[in-house]
Amino acid sequence: MALLLAVTTSCTGSTPGSGAVAAGKYGTAGVGDRLFPALGNGGYDVTHYGLTLDYVPETNHLKGTAVITARATQDLSRFDLDLSGLRVRTVTVRGAGAHFTRAGNELQVTPAKAVRPHEVFQTVVTYDGTPRTLKYGSGSAREGWLETDDGSTALGQPSGSMTWFPGNHHPSDKATYDITVTVPKDEDGDPYDVISNGELVAEKDHGKTVTRHWRNKEPMASYVAHVSVGDFEIHRGRSKNGVPVYVATDPAEAKTAAGVPDLVPEMIDWGSTLFGPYPFSLTGAVVDHLPDLEYALETQTKPYFGESPDEGLLVHELAHQWFGDSVTPRAWKDIWLSEGLTSYAEWLWEEKRGGRTTEQTFKDYYDGKDEESAGIWAFPPANPPSAARLSDPPVYGHGAMVIHKVRQAVGDATFFDILRTWTRQHRHGNADTRQFITLCETKSGKDLTTLFDTWLFAKEKPSRM
């Protein structure tokens, strides 16, 4: 996944009237993630983000106000927020001006009065500037705030969300979101479309600008928070199970993506049968025109695609709504659980559509006959060697092979019971590899140590067994 981009400048400031700063205990910068030690922050849990953004596509200028509601987990005389680039104008804590300092990707905030353990408090940050684009992984792919041919899109895995709003940008700290974006109308007087997570709860025409307010009322990790601005064709409907569907398609992709509005509800209902009830109040997709993006992302409720997806990619990102978005990795090394399970969903869908069986796909991966199998033995899926390798083949293809071996070991009835129990027990929360192993052993009544040691943790390619 993307490496954090170092910021070479730093600045300090304080809101007028902030007065003397408090003395006492500091929240940590970073939550101790092995792969991303500087990402996230200690000392508090965010419960809600209220983001109010003004964006001008022609100049790529963003102006924002972030209202961050959090609960302190310790005494806090200072705490950090992750933020890359952008100029911070003011910071208040509990309505009072706060002193702030920039150091790399950290916004260090010192409230006038220390926050007490368990106290719920609000921090308000006003900021502006041109949002950054960050390098994604070891290749040429990008994340963060990306300009498109008719607007922009914000993609955050694993750290790009900090390029457009300050926060606690580690997946272990999930929160609800209200995202309100104001954009101008184009030269013909037509407003830009604004798509974000969750449900559109308000829309207001101000004459020269339009404001849209999106609400995600289920907890969300910041890396799947999303905003797309541009020209889109909107398709609304419902699945047979009654889930509302919202699909936005760039006109340049309309012909090749014509089947997406019908496939999305079909896949969601299918997934609900296998994985448990759909975890959100709405589903959909955003099919943009950004063909050099090199990846798709499971942005919560509406996965994002830079161009029209094939069925395998579409079902992969929709399966992430259960595995990754609702049940989110506790640490980045646990990402194999999300990617392995959603890659296995691709195998299941292919079998459903009359293609290869999951057993044949497993064999093709093992024998190196599948085009996606190159490099899957480079490292154990549960132990990526670095942040830059987070999206490498072992996490996906090898991870799916681990899931298939579990299915073989426990049988179909127990296997799908495990999946439904997993999504029910950890719905809208975080979970890790050890919890998954424990669930598999509890449900099956079997000691699966050898299986996981061989297929998940071993460095060498296993015998076929």
As a whole number of angstroms, the distance between CA 18 and CA 91 comes to: 9
- 141 pLDDT band, cuts 50/70/90, is confident
Count of CB atoms situated within 10 Å of the CB of 233: 15
Count of CB atoms situated within 10 Å of the CB of 304: 24
E strands in 148-205: 152-155, 175-184, 193-196, 199-205
| pLDDT score of 183 more than 80 | yes
Assign 3-state DSSP to the chain and report helix, strand, coil percentages, each to 5. 25, 30, 40
Q: Both tokens of residue 269?
A: 């209902």
- 19 pLDDT band, cuts 50/70/90, is very low
| pLDDT score of 118 more than 50 | yes
Average pLDDT over residues 51-65: 97
| pLDDT score of 192 more than 90 | yes
Residue 397 DSSP class: I
**What pLDDT digit, counting tens, does each position of 400-427 carry?**
999 999 999 999 999 999 999 999 999 9
| pLDDT score of 58 more than 80 | yes
- Token look-up 């005494």 returns 75
Residue-level pLDDT at 188: 85
Q: Both tokens of residue 173?
A: 């700290």
* Cβ atoms 216, 227 nearer than 8 A: no
| pLDDT score of 132 more than 50 | yes
Produce one character per residue of 311-328: b if its CB has 16 or more CB atoms within 10 Å, e if not.
Answer: bbbbbbbbbbbbbbbbbb
Q: pLDDT over 70 for what percent of the chain? A: 94
As a whole number of angstroms, the distance between CA 59 and CA 141 comes to: 23
As a whole number of angstroms, the distance between CA 254 and CA 252 comes to: 6
Among 17-31, 63-77, 200-214, 330-344, name the one with the lowest average pLDDT: 17-31
**What pLDDT digit, counting tens, does each position of 428-463 carry?**
999 999 999 999 999 999 999 999 999 999 999 999
**What pLDDT digit, counting tens, does each position of 351-367 carry?**
999 999 999 999 999 99
Residue-level pLDDT at 18: 42
Rounded-to-10 torsion of CA 193, 196, 201, 202: -40
Average pLDDT over residues 219-225: 98
Average pLDDT over residues 9-24: 48
Q: Both tokens of residue 421?
A: 């129990």
- What's the longest Cα–Cα distance across the chain? 69
**How much is the mean pLDDT over the chain?**
94
Q: Report the relative pairing of strands 12-14 and 99-103 from DSSP bridges.
A: antiparallel
Residue-level pLDDT at 12: 54
Residue-level pLDDT at 26: 93
> Which has more confidence, 354 or 3?
354
> Which has more confidence, 161 or 22?
161
Please list, in sequence order, all residues whose beta carbon lies within 8 angstroms of the beta carbon of residue 429, skipping any fewer than 6 positions away.
174, 219, 327, 328
Residue-level pLDDT at 136: 75
Average pLDDT over residues 22-32: 82
- 186 pLDDT band, cuts 50/70/90, is confident
**What pLDDT digit, counting tens, does each position of 260-317 carry?**
999 999 999 999 999 999 999 999 999 999 999 999 999 999 999 999 999 999 999 9
Listed residue (414, 433, 264) closest to 341, CA to CA: 433
pTM for the model stands at 0.94
Residue-level pLDDT at 171: 98
User: CB pairs under 8 A, 24+ apart, for 345-354?
Assistant: 345/271, 345/274, 345/275, 345/315, 345/316, 345/319, 346/312, 346/315, 346/316, 346/319, 346/400, 347/400, 347/404, 348/274, 349/267, 349/270, 349/311, 349/312, 349/315, 350/312, 352/270, 353/311
Average pLDDT over residues 47-60: 97
Residue-level pLDDT at 374: 96
